[in-house]
A = this chain, B = another copy of it.
Amino acid sequence: MSAARDRAGRGGGLLATDFYQLTMLHAYEYAGMGDRATFEFFFRRPQPTRGFLLAAGLGTLAREIETAGFTPEEIAWLRETGRFPDEMIDRLAEWRFTGDLDAVAEGTLIFGDEPILRVEAPIAEAQLIETLVINHLHFQTLIASKAARMVLTAPDAQLIDFGLRRAHGMEAGVRAARAAYLAGFAGTATTSAGLAFAIPLYGTMAHSFIQAHDSEEQAFLDFALARPADTTLLIDTYDTERAAAKVVTLAETLRARGIAVRGVRIDSGDLAAHARAVRAILDEGGLDDVRIVASGGIDEWTLRDLVRSGAPIDSYGIGTSLTTSQDRPAIDCGYKLVAYAGTPRRKLSEGKVLWPGAKQLFRHHGGDGTIDHDVLALADEALDGEPLLRPAMREGRCLDLPTLEEARATARENLARLPDRLKDLDTPGDYDVRISSGLRALADSMAKEGR
A111 to B168, CA, bound (A): 21
The smallest C-beta distance from A449 to any residue of chain B, in angstroms, reads 12
Task: Check if A222 is an interface residue, CB within 8 A of chain B.
Answer: yes
A172 adjacent to B168 (CB under 8 Å): yes
Enumerate chain B residues within 8 angstroms of A10, measured Cβ to Cβ: 10-12, 170-171, 174
Task: Check if A291 is an interface residue, CB within 8 A of chain B.
Answer: no
B33 adjacent to A212 (CB under 8 Å): yes
Enumerate chain B residues within 8 angstroms of A12, measured Cβ to Cβ: 10, 170-171, 192
Within 8 A of B (CB), among A118-164: 123, 127, 130-132, 134-135, 138-139, 142, 162, 164
Which of A6, A16, A26, A345: most chain B Cβ within 10 A?
A: A16
Enumerate chain B residues within 8 angstroms of A95, measured Cβ to Cβ: none
Task: Check if A347 is an interface residue, CB within 8 A of chain B.
Answer: yes
Check A39/B169 contact, CB under 8 A, given A10-B174, A15-B192. Answer: no
Check A24/B206 contact, CB under 8 A, given A169-B172, A349-B268. Answer: yes
Closest residue of chain B to A345 (Cβ to Cβ) is B211
The stretch of A45-53, A223-231, A256-264, A279-287 that contacts the partner chain = A223-231
Enumerate chain B residues within 8 angstroms of A212, measured Cβ to Cβ: 28, 33, 37, 123, 337, 340, 345
- Number of A interface residues, CB 8 Å? 110
Contact with B along A4-37 (1 / 0, CB 8 A): 1111111111011111111110111111010001
A20 to B234, CA, bound (A): 11
Enumerate chain B residues within 8 angstroms of A238, measured Cβ to Cβ: 348-349
A20 adjacent to B203 (CB under 8 Å): yes
Query: Which of B29, B135, B326, B337 interacts with A211 by CB under 8 Å?
Result: B337
A13 adjacent to B192 (CB under 8 Å): yes
Enumerate chain B residues within 8 angstroms of A172, measured Cβ to Cβ: 11, 168-169, 171-172
The smallest C-beta distance from A194 to any residue of chain B, in angstroms, reads 7
Enumerate chain B residues within 8 angstroms of A204, measured Cβ to Cβ: 20, 23
Check A195/B8 contact, CB under 8 A, given A19-B203, A23-B205, A268-B350. Answer: yes
Interface residues of A (CB under 8 A from B): 4-13, 15-24, 26-31, 33, 37, 39, 60, 74, 77, 81, 83, 123, 127, 130-132, 134-135, 138-139, 142, 162, 164-176, 189-197, 201-209, 211-213, 222-223, 225-227, 230, 236-239, 267-269, 320, 324-326, 329-330, 333, 336-337, 340, 345-352
Check A17/B191 contact, CB under 8 A, given A134-B165, A134-B166, A268-B350. Answer: yes
Enumerate chain B residues within 8 angstroms of A27, measured Cβ to Cβ: 205, 209, 222-223, 226-227
B135 adjacent to A165 (CB under 8 Å): yes
The smallest C-beta distance from A91 to any residue of chain B, in angstroms, reads 14
Enumerate chain B residues within 8 angstroms of A192, measured Cβ to Cβ: 7-9, 11-13, 15-17
A169 adjacent to B203 (CB under 8 Å): no
B191 adjacent to A164 (CB under 8 Å): no
Query: Which of B28, B139, B333 interacts with A168 by CB under 8 Å?
Result: B139
Closest residue of chain B to A340 (Cβ to Cβ) is B212
Check A201/B170 contact, CB under 8 A, given A226-B27, A345-B211. Answer: no
Interface CB pairs A-B, < 8 A, 27: A8-B174, A8-B192, A8-B196, A26-B226, A27-B209, A28-B212, A83-B201, A127-B206, A131-B164, A135-B166, A135-B169, A138-B166, A139-B169, A168-B172, A171-B172, A172-B172, A207-B336, A207-B347, A208-B336, A208-B337, A212-B337, A236-B349, A238-B348, A268-B349, A268-B351, A269-B351, A326-B329
